[in-house]
Amino acid sequence: MSTPDQSQLGKATVYIDRYDPSLLFPIPRSAKRAEIGVGETLPFYGCDIWNAYELSWLDAHGKPQLAVAEFRVPAASPNIIESKSFKLYLNGFAQEPLPSVDALRALLQKDLGDAAGDAVEVTLHPARTSAHAFADLAGESIDALPATISDYGPPKADYLCADANAAVVEEALVSDLLRSNCPVTGQPDWGSVQIAYRGAPIAREGLLHYLVSFRTHTEFHEQCVERIYMDVMARCAPERLSVYARYTRRGGLDINPFRSSVPAMPENLRGARQ
């Protein structure tokens, strides 16, 4: 099994500026999913949206070209792609001559699909794109709730509950206080998260305590979102649920996992911190 300690991740790095697909480092999703009770048949749909703002290559005449790239990795793919390896791989195009944008797209689709173990959707936007408009996650923020908090990890699902005797609601609750830590570098990952659901009303203060309890937790972005989804579903039993996190970028990449109980795909709108 591929694990980060077997790689050069988190160690001194030589930044290669020529194309090298071997730089991509896949990590199986299965072990962490087993930890939170996810089996081979997934209880959710979704994808991981990656935005790359530092993608450049050379055209046939040696002139640098730029693009803003959007990658959608299916939640059903067997592997995640470790983010530092993703950055190193993209940086490898910096001095690589390519005949066309289509040639670049084809390489990206093949290499990322091979690493993820499933087809990856690749969209290349012009450098001055307006495709990613600024818009915060829709919903009612719970961050201003009065609360005394002293628990910052590990995540505690016991904080979550819903009032089964109350009328069913359909709402989206949002927090900008999501923080966890990268298993490879130990660096903090900062994000905003939206919990959109239909069902018995979720206790908001409990949800706030639960989300803050990720603050010192070490787990990849995708794994945190799946943990949130599974815990909310188990403790609050909504009829319908989606969890969408928008993380701030590092090294020119941001990661935005989305998981839903129904087949759906989110818009790729950048929050103010992105």
Cβ partners under 8 Å of residue 91, min gap 6: 15, 16, 17, 54
**Amino acid present at 10:** G
DSSP summary character for residue 6: G
Please count the helices (runs of H) and the strands (runs of E) in the chain: 5, 10
Q: How many CA atoms lie within 13 A of 106 on its CB side?
A: 6
Catalytic residue among 176, 189, 231, 254: 189
Contact, 10 vs 4, CB < 8 A? yes
Contact, 179 vs 193, CB < 8 A? no
Whether 161 is a known active-site residue: answer no
Contact, 232 vs 18, CB < 8 A? no
Cβ partners under 8 Å of residue 63, min gap 6: none
Catalytic residue among 47, 182, 224, 236: 182
Catalytic residues: 182, 189
